Chains A and B, each alone.
Chain A
Amino acid sequence: MNLDSDVLVELASRYLERQGWFLQATAGDKGPLVCESIEILAEEDPALFRLVFTKGAHRLQLFAGVRAPTTLVGALRNEEAALFGPIDVGGDSYLAYDALADDECCRRILGIATSGRENAGRVRPVASLLSHTSFVFDERLFMKCYRVLEPGERAESTVLFGLDTVGFNAIISPVALWSEGGVDLALIREFLPSALEGRLLALTSLRDLLAYVNETEDEAGFRSVETGGSADEVAAAAGGDIAFEMRRLGQTAARLHLALADAFGDVALPPRSALEPLAAASALWSDEVWGRAIRLHGDFHLRRVMRTDGGWIISGFGDDPMFAMTGATGSVIEQIGSPLEDVADMFFALREVANEALRLRPSAERPYAQPLAHAWTRRNQGSFLRGYLEVDPIGRLLPTTGAIRDQLLTHFVVLRAERYELA
């Protein structure tokens, strides 16, 4: 395609500078925006280009499409916002635009990223986040095109492919990784349409339980838990109880930790300042009693676990995290630590979702509903841990005694409460 690449770069630069994600990703970086490279991915209409920009320490990826105006009509989603502007091609006026708004270009990127192994018909955009844009193809493949390029392989692809290699199947299987010079450009994995966030399952369970206080023959007031026994008994008897789902999730989490240890190794839990108060209180304990340190999920909560028709799967190895320690570009920093840290994440998440459900109740009900929400949290934390500990040989990664394990877990839970509540 005979076009002036400088014009395309100029148009693309101006487009980039209008994008919220770009401004957020490069906030505070005063360096100039420079086009580092431009690569022609396809020449026929629509033509497809991959541009890499740098701005200070940041590297950014942008896909550009170029079409004749006659073929552009109806080809773009969100047409106005996606257009870069007119560009001369061999004396004719064409239009340049963000190629990720064009289904045809998305299909081409999928083909390139999978070395031609995959092609698709229907394209559905899913999310447009700071670090990436994502699409679903034919409701079976999910592609994440990175906007912000990170030096080296991303934690997400490292972990996904690492787990896949050791045969851990409670993840969404990776299909292909498109990388260049060790830098990840796009990740393609399976798409599971039936997958549902664990949080939604938990809220459904809580909705059923908390309705208890409002299901009374006494029109005047609310039903206190004493009517049906203790809060724990009421929670255990609720139709929407998901304790055994949590047990299965606990089992899946334990298998994940064993697989992470398998794939990335394990070491003696390193002494950390965070553990010092405990260590001081237990001066007689040797280093060995604390268990092993492994590569963690690091952001393990109810939005990161998905219930599918085949059981639980774990996702979010590097999505834009909500709670985890994050790097400057929004990706998860590799975390090494006791597997109980992930367990503590889930304990905290169960407590948080119960609070979320409580907030949905009218304020007058809350004093009656609160003991039930707490009982729900206790019950499901217990089930999760029970399932977790059932998996053999998870014990080899954990503290050598139950007492130390419980103490360490409590310690991590308290740390999370302090961290998030102070935040």
Chain B
Amino acid sequence: MTTRKPRAVPDPESVARQRQRSQNAPRNSGVTAKTVLGARPDWFERAVFYELLPRSFYDSNGDGIGDIPGIVEKLDYLNWLGVDCLWLLPFYPSPLRDGGYDVSDYRSVAAECGTVEDVALMLEEAHRRGIRVIADLVINHTSDQHPWFQASRSDPTSEFGDFYVWSDAPDKWNDVRVIFSDTEPSNWTFDEKRGQYYWHRFYHHQPDLNYESEQVQLAMLDVARFWLDLGMDGFRLDAAAYLFQRDGYSGENLPETHDFLKRMRAEIDHSYRGRVLLAEVNQWPADVVDYFGGGDECHMCFHFPLMPRMFMAIRREQRFPITEILAQTPAIPSSCQWGIFLRNHDELTLEMVTEDERDYMYAEYARDPLMRKNLGIRRRLAPLVENDRRVAELLYSLLLSLPGAPILYYGDEILMGENIYLGDRDTVRTPMQWTPDLNGGFSAADFDKLVLPSSVDPVYGFQAVNVKAELLDPSSFLHWLQRMLRVRRQYPVFAQGDLEVLPANNPSILVYLRTTRAADDIEPSIVLCVLNLSRFAQSTELSLGHFEGLRPIEMLGRVEFPMISSAGYSITIGPRGFYWLELRAER
């Protein structure tokens, strides 16, 4: 059962401290988006997010690279789909050795993606449509090309000398795990120029910032203010768990890390109310909940361990992988929300599973070694489920009905495929497929100039799978998903209700209740979700006696089901089927 804790009261002293700093900080004095969406500060709890790579979404100027103006051109499509908030992957200047997560200038836009003015215009246009936008903010590390790092390695005595974590010998924190174990032998790399080793939790060209330095903390807060002043609705905080290191610790989840995130949150609460911080913390739920603080740290955190378990449950045709992790998920503050997803721009991470489970996932979903990366699987949703639409629908029905804000990954709404012959995680970052025309309608450039090759796979390529075709086909997956999002929007219980997993005497059937109480700020409602994880028809008998006299209404077709009595309630459900049943009193 998931419940929510009461809202936390912000610490007045910390707010006052932040107010002072905020007044002293340099501001973006140029362009800003004129429209800032107001109303509910809890908008993110109900929102459907859509994650996209600007470079791969739509190329507006024919240079082969997606750009910010390209996003503007597709806002009407996203609005039609029912998206509430865009999450943009990094668009900052970068040598692009890690998909833009190696930032070389935080206050600018990569030339190929556009300008700061373009971002302001995009924010304006998105807000005009009621869509918010958050940006990836890479707070843990920079590119080794960032001027801060160049200054730091050149002159240890400069103001940037301690902006990074330097050591004379690579002998500290040797127990800290290496995350990119495929390519990095150590978390330390020697820099010839400075004659010291620098610390990096990710690639060696991504030196970690030294958050022990007050100057680093202030600099990152300034970066945040720069974009918030422009009208950005918040940030997805990349690698938020790794900001501090300390002897004897794993280098993750240190109290100092939480202190900094709370400092950033206080700034938001004071000057940018209604903006959101979404933390990327790939940890067990019991550790992740600390990133919500008492409602005074991050507004949202991803629920990483849930994701692989949805795939596991489907293939094993039994519910325990899901119910087990839900049972391990603690309550979160009432002003916070989980971010849940099926796939994203990274590998399908298997860090938060047991060794046995990882072997199983590799065997079932990544038989070709090319599909594996680090501790994960670099594939997209559709090929993972062998292009089985029923499975895709079942997974989305889970995603849209479990507690949390669902985050869709661009292209998965049309069941795009991956290209496992590309390097690193570019397998899942190929251009969006808009039409069956040249380059899938992504760009007018020559094919060779594309940021990544558009897929020409016979099954998943743009000739077969594209937005235009799916828009023309009323029974397409895209239309189905759009209808599902519409239904979900009508029932805030999906976003903000409590969860109770109900017993079912059939392991292939997953049943849970989503409920809101009259005291909540939303219409009280009860929704019963029943899912058949098996590829065969299944039946079960539910004990619903405490809902005696209520009638289940199937929510997609408004079909009445037999009334609930004190006896067991029998349900039969087709292969990979699901029901969303609203339980209503007879009028």
Residues of chain A whose beta carbon lies under 8 Å from any beta carbon of chain B = 122, 124, 139, 193-196, 200-201, 204-205, 207-208, 211, 236-237, 239-242, 244, 247, 307, 309-311
The verdict on A244 contacting B357 (CB below 8 Å), with A207-B536, A309-B326, A309-B327 known, is yes
Please report the C-alpha to C-alpha distance between residue A224 and residue B534 in the assembled complex, in whole angstroms: 23
**Is there an interface contact between B316 and A241, defined as CB atoms closer than 8 Å?**
yes
Tell me if B507 is interfacial: C-beta within 8 Å of chain A. Answer: yes
**Cβ–Cβ < 8 Å partners of B315 in chain A:** 239-240
Interface majority SS (helix, strand, loop, mixed), chain A: mixed
- Shortest C-beta distance, A390 to chain B (Å), equals 12
**Is there an interface contact between B501 and A194, defined as CB atoms closer than 8 Å?**
yes
**Cβ–Cβ < 8 Å partners of B397 in chain A:** none
Please report the C-alpha to C-alpha distance between residue A122 and residue B535 in the assembled complex, in whole angstroms: 36
**Is there an interface contact between A239 and B324, defined as CB atoms closer than 8 Å?**
no
Q: List 23 A-B contacts (CB under 8 A).
A: A122-B545, A122-B546, A139-B543, A193-B502, A194-B323, A194-B501, A204-B507, A204-B508, A205-B316, A205-B318, A208-B317, A208-B534, A211-B535, A236-B363, A239-B315, A239-B317, A240-B318, A244-B357, A244-B360, A309-B326, A309-B327, A310-B324, A310-B327
**Cβ–Cβ < 8 Å partners of A122 in chain B:** 545-546
**Is there an interface contact between B320 and A124, defined as CB atoms closer than 8 Å?**
no
Identify 6 new A-B residue pairs, CB closer than 8 A, beyond the known A204-B318, A204-B508: A196-B503, A196-B507, A205-B318, A240-B318, A309-B323, A310-B324
The verdict on A309 contacting B324 (CB below 8 Å), with A242-B316, A244-B357, A247-B356 known, is yes
Please report the C-alpha to C-alpha distance between residue A100 and residue B318 in the assembled complex, in whole angstroms: 36
Interface residue count for B (Cβ, 8 Å)? 28
Please report the C-alpha to C-alpha distance between residue A237 and residue B535 in the assembled complex, in whole angstroms: 17
Task: Return the chain B residue nearest A77 by Cβ.
Answer: B566
- Shortest C-beta distance, A287 to chain B (Å), equals 38
**Is there an interface contact between B545 and A240, defined as CB atoms closer than 8 Å?**
no
Task: Return the chain A residue nearest B546 by Cβ.
Answer: A122
The verdict on A124 contacting B506 (CB below 8 Å), with A309-B320, A309-B327 known, is no
Interface residues of B in 517-564 (CB under 8 A from A): 534-536, 543, 545-546
Residue from B316, B503, B506, B508 in contact with A239 in the complex, judged by beta carbons closer than 8 Å: B316
Residue from A201, A204, A239, A310 in contact with B364 in the complex, judged by beta carbons closer than 8 Å: A239
The verdict on A204 contacting B323 (CB below 8 Å), with A122-B545, A239-B364, A247-B356 known, is no
**Cβ–Cβ < 8 Å partners of A236 in chain B:** 363
- Shortest C-beta distance, B264 to chain A (Å), equals 35
- Shortest C-beta distance, B369 to chain A (Å), equals 16
- Shortest C-beta distance, B317 to chain A (Å), equals 5
- Shortest C-beta distance, A342 to chain B (Å), equals 23
**Cβ–Cβ < 8 Å partners of B508 in chain A:** 204
- Shortest C-beta distance, B216 to chain A (Å), equals 42
Question: A-B pairs with the 8 shortest C-beta distances?
Answer: A309-B327, A244-B356, A239-B315, A193-B503, A309-B323, A204-B507, A309-B324, A201-B507
Tell me if B505 is interfacial: C-beta within 8 Å of chain A. Answer: yes
Please report the C-alpha to C-alpha distance between residue A372 and residue B326 in the assembled complex, in whole angstroms: 33
**Is there an interface contact between A124 and B545, defined as CB atoms closer than 8 Å?**
yes
**Cβ–Cβ < 8 Å partners of B320 in chain A:** 201, 307, 309
Interface residues of B in 313-331 (CB under 8 A from A): 315-318, 320, 323-324, 326-327
Please report the C-alpha to C-alpha distance between residue A240 and residue B360 in the assembled complex, in whole angstroms: 10
Please report the C-alpha to C-alpha distance between residue A208 and residue B363 in the assembled complex, in whole angstroms: 16
Please report the C-alpha to C-alpha distance between residue A194 and residue B505 in the assembled complex, in whole angstroms: 9
**Cβ–Cβ < 8 Å partners of B506 in chain A:** 200
**Cβ–Cβ < 8 Å partners of B546 in chain A:** 122
Please report the C-alpha to C-alpha distance between residue A239 and residue B356 in the assembled complex, in whole angstroms: 14
Interface residues of B in 351-392 (CB under 8 A from A): 354, 356-357, 360, 363-364
Max chain A Cβ within 10 angstroms of own Cβ: one of B318, B536, B543: B318
**Is there an interface contact between A240 and B503, defined as CB atoms closer than 8 Å?**
no
The verdict on A309 contacting B501 (CB below 8 Å), with A201-B318, A207-B536, A239-B364 known, is yes
- Shortest C-beta distance, A228 to chain B (Å), equals 12
Task: Return the chain B residue nearest A197 by Cβ.
Answer: B505
Contact bitstring B458-494, A, C-beta under 8 A = 1, else 0: 0000000000000000000000000000000000000
Please report the C-alpha to C-alpha distance between residue A244 and residue B327 in the assembled complex, in whole angstroms: 20
Task: Return the chain A residue nearest B502 by Cβ.
Answer: A193
**Cβ–Cβ < 8 Å partners of A200 in chain B:** 505-507
**Is there an interface contact between B536 and A241, defined as CB atoms closer than 8 Å?**
no
**Is there an interface contact between A240 and B317, defined as CB atoms closer than 8 Å?**
yes
**Is there an interface contact between A240 and B316, defined as CB atoms closer than 8 Å?**
yes
Please report the C-alpha to C-alpha distance between residue A189 and residue B363 in the assembled complex, in whole angstroms: 40
Please report the C-alpha to C-alpha distance between residue A151 and residue B320 in the assembled complex, in whole angstroms: 41
Please report the C-alpha to C-alpha distance between residue A307 and residue B320 in the assembled complex, in whole angstroms: 8
Task: Return the chain A residue nearest B312 by Cβ.
Answer: A239
Task: Return the chain B residue nearest A239 by Cβ.
Answer: B315
**Cβ–Cβ < 8 Å partners of A240 in chain B:** 315-318
Interface residues of B in 273-331 (CB under 8 A from A): 315-318, 320, 323-324, 326-327
Residue from A193, A194, A204, A309 in contact with B317 in the complex, judged by beta carbons closer than 8 Å: A204
